[in-house]
Amino acid sequence: MVIRDFLKRVSSSKLGVCGLVTFLLCVLVALFAPVLAPYDPMMKHYDAANRLEKLKPPSERHWLGTTILGRDVFSQLIWGVRPALIIGLCTALGTIVIGVNIGLISGYYGGWLDNLLMRITDIFMAVPFLPFIIVILSLTGKSIWTITLAMMIILWRSTARVIRAQVLTLRQRPFVDAARISGAGNLKIIYREIAPNIMPIALVNVAFNLAWAIITEASIGFLGFGDPEVLSWGTIIYQAFASEMSYKAWWWVVPPGAAIMILVTAVYFIGRAYEEMINPRLKSW
Amino acid sequence: MGKYIVKRVLFMILTFYVLATLMFFLFRMLPGDPTMTVISAALNPKAQEEMKRQFGLDKPVHEQYLVYLKNIALVDFGYSFQHTRKVSDMISGRMLNTVLLILPSMIAAYALGIFLGAWIAWKRGGKLEIGTVIASTAFQSAPVFWLGMLAIFVFSVHLDIFPIGHIVSPGSHHGKSPLAVYFSLDFLHHLALPFIVNTLYNLCFPLLLMRSSMLETFGEDFIELCKLKGLRERRIIYKHAMRNSFLPIATTIPLILGWAVAGSVVIETVFSWPGLGLLMVEAVQRSDYPVVQACFLLIAVLTILGNFAADLLYGILDPRVVYD
């Protein structure tokens, strides 16, 4: 129900439709990566004379050229959609669950509990995001799950604030009083009466957190802290940068960055289209 | 106001204390034992004991914790694992480099973003607006390190306008004072490219937000009144609408500033900029934990001070804010 309403609203804007189509295409690429990728992304290619085909510019055999180890960049690009989407979506959903619950409890109960939760949120606001994740990863080891978890611990903070502000106004509305008079308990009021009303804002935040998570995951990969078992777009750029070939082999660097840009732009368009629909005053075209 | 500032400063200290404590326990609780990187298991037990004593690791945890807090208060971060140099010596100057890279570009990004956003909102409905919205969304969605690499590729490698990374040319001398470097043309030349990339990247967020905030303001009655009064278009935008639309953007400054400071690890890596972020990345790769810890805490200090400044600024901008 929420999903259908979401899709209906997003597709009423042109940019929203563009975003949705692009995003779905990325999902399809992720699902069919083994079929779509022409080669194994880790396979080293040799030419007829058995020489390593390293740093070859785009050609018919290798649409986006090869890396310094003679690997096919196009195949790496295709496989890179998977970690971006998996880490991004898991992080976004996790942060929403944490952020929405803290926002609901803080905004509804008010008083010392609200004060305590918001001061904790303030402290999290002061945590430098990327440096914190790097510290965590250097201590726990690098895997896509530790990356997801480390991002989740921090990213809920702005969602919690936004949701709380919304709950503060909802709490004053007559339907909350009506529910209380008819004997509903606090938890029932929070999750049955108030929560459905903040769903639209929560969904907008899912989109924005997803965008941040994808960019952050790429940054982690670029700094060399990506999961060594998984080839993500950030890691591809890191390998080019670390081998000091990034300013010679443009075909190795440009495509993964462009892929991140396209996917994240799509996510932003979806989020904004939806935001404009739930707040029609923003609408301009 | 005075009472508010005192309260806010106390909270800043509490925040820093919590983060420092978090760092202390993270390094001692999480599985990867940092001491293993310096104290090799191959050493004979006596030598291991001796090294532990040097780093104060032979004492019980609560004593270590108190020593740790005392040292932070004295800005003494101990010795680096790798160079047996004092961490505070390695770090001095780094903080200023980071601030000089981040702060000017954040100010430029917000100033430009706000005016461009206001202007585009006023011109709404045209191709210009759609074009700007698409372009700035795309720019904001690109990873900043990748934009930096493209900028170096185009402007440094091919066009040879800017140097490739670093803060000054190797082997250059800038007088005796350590601060003289920052007043040299060479420094500005090196700063230019990362500054431009960082500014353009950070400009998109305030621009897009200002646009939607302005669109909301244009729907308000007082704008209609201004039009009816026959005020000039420019006056309505810049005097009446912009002031009211700016407040929601001002609340985002701490968040974006926090992102930018944290993002220094990435942008400094691309441009080999000798700031805290680059030092931290290098230290983590070498498992040099005292340096990592110090860098993290100083980046946190920058974030906390940035938030504080932004809060004060907000109070000045919006006289309706009540300090209690």
Stretch B41-60: mean pLDDT, rounded? 71
Look up residue A281 and give its DSSP letter.
G
Q: Does residue B293 contact residue A144 with C-beta atoms inside 8 Å? A: no
Domain range annotation of chain A: 65-269
Q: Which residue has the higher pLDDT, B124 or A133?
A: A133
At A258 the pLDDT is: 94
Predicted pLDDT of residue A285: 38
The rounded percent of chain A whose pLDDT value lies above 90 is 45
A-facing residues of B in 214-273 (CB < 8 A) are 215-216, 219, 254-255, 258-259, 261-263, 265-266, 269-270
Cβ neighbours of B133 (radius 10 Å): 22
Please give the interface size between A and B, counted as residue pairs whose CB atoms are below 8 Å apart.
158
Tokens of A269: 């368009």
Q: What is the pLDDT of residue A160?
A: 93
Query: Is the Cβ–Cβ distance between B273 and B267 less than 8 Å?
Result: yes
- Give residue-wise pLDDT tens across range A93-114: 999 999 999 999 999 998 899 9
Q: What pLDDT score was predicted for residue B32?
A: 54
Query: What is the DSSP annotation of B52-76?
Result: HHHTTTTS-HHHHHHHHHHHHHTT-
Reported as a single tens digit per residue, the pLDDT across B172-221 is 766 666 677 777 777 888 888 999 999 999 999 899 888 888 888 877 88
A 128-157 → B contacts, CB under 8 A = 128-132, 134-136, 138-141
Chain B residues 106-145 with a CB less than 8 Å from chain A: 124-125, 129-130, 133-134, 137-138, 140-145
Q: At A142, is the pLDDT very low, low, confident or very high (cuts 50, 70, 90)?
A: confident
Residue B253 CA to residue A52 CA, distance in Å, equals: 51
- Cβ-nearest to B137 among A125, A128, A265: A265
Q: ipTM of the assembly?
A: 0.89
Measure CB to CB from residue A282 to each of B145, B216, B266 and give the nearest one.
Answer: B216
Residue B36 pLDDT more than 70?
A: no
Over the stretch A25-83, which tens digit does the pLDDT of each residue have?
999 999 998 888 888 888 888 888 888 888 788 888 888 888 888 888 899 999 999 99
Determine, for residues A158 and B255 on separate chains, whether the beta-carbon distance falls below 8 Å.
yes
Structure tokens at B296: 């993290």
Q: Which residues of B touch A128 (CB under 8 A)?
A: 258, 261-262, 296, 299-300, 303
Tell me, yes or no, if the pTM score tops 0.80: yes
Kindly identify which residue of chain A lies nearest to residue B304, measuring between CA atoms.
A126
Confidence band of A284 (pLDDT split at 50, 70, 90): very low
Whether the pLDDT of residue B31 is over 60: the answer is no
Report whether pLDDT(A232) > 60: yes
Domain at A65-269: CATH code: 1.10.3720.10
Nearest CA in chain A to B212: A282
Mean pLDDT computed over every residue of chain A: 88
| Inter-chain CB proximity B23 and A269 less than 8 Å | no
